[in-house]
Amino acid sequence: MGLDITAYEIVNPEAYAPNDFGQECDWEDTVMVYNIAAFAARQDGLPDGRHKVDGRIFEFRAGSYSSYSLFREALVEMLGYEGGLKELWPRLFAGDEKADLEAAPFMRLINFADNEGVLGPKTCAKLAREFRQFLPAAEKKWAFDKNEPGRASAEEYYLDTYRHFLVAFSLAAGAGCVSFG
């Protein structure tokens, strides 16, 4: 099992059906939009349900759930948060207003369900800007020598995953969404 990410270029907010699994639909042309309550605002107004999609679609596997957690930890480390996720999670869950963590780069991805959910177009646009802005830092942080076995695999995974998220969020930034599942 692993985390599959799908970016949709265009999601039609008007052409949708409520979460009725008995209703017939062409699954090739739809995306199921939903989140747990804590992340519902990140749908950016897309109501829960099946939505018609158009345009390009980009899919990738973000690795196993444990490797994806390591990727999020690597993002936090790249940004220089002392103590990493171990110290960041309690502050996020406590609503640490002073830290303004939700405004920090990548927080809409770092503090998001790692098994299912949807990020809407505004959230994707913000993340696309952040991924573009920090790409040089990511390339520097995760530079690797392909002749150095072992070390290359982790850095290569982080950089590939970073670049895949950049493509996904950029594609969905206008009128789409990114689905985690």
The whole domain housing 112 covers 10-18+28-37+50-55+67-180
Task: Say if 155 falls within a structural domain.
Answer: yes
- Whole-prediction pTM: 0.88
Count the domains in the chain: 1
- Where residue 106 falls (left for φ over 0; alpha for ψ -120 to 50; beta otherwise) is left
Task: Say if 61 falls within a structural domain.
Answer: no
Question: What is the pLDDT at residue 85?
Answer: 81
Task: Say if 3 falls within a structural domain.
Answer: no
Q: pLDDT tens digits, residue range 35-70?
A: 888 889 999 999 888 888 999 999 999 999 999 999
Task: Say if 165 falls within a structural domain.
Answer: yes
Task: Say if 44 falls within a structural domain.
Answer: no
Task: Say if 136 falls within a structural domain.
Answer: yes
Classify 126 as helix, strand or coil. Answer: helix
Task: Say if 78 falls within a structural domain.
Answer: yes
pLDDT bracket for residue 80 (50, 70, 90): confident
Task: Say if 97 falls within a structural domain.
Answer: yes
59/13 Cα distance (integer angstroms): 21
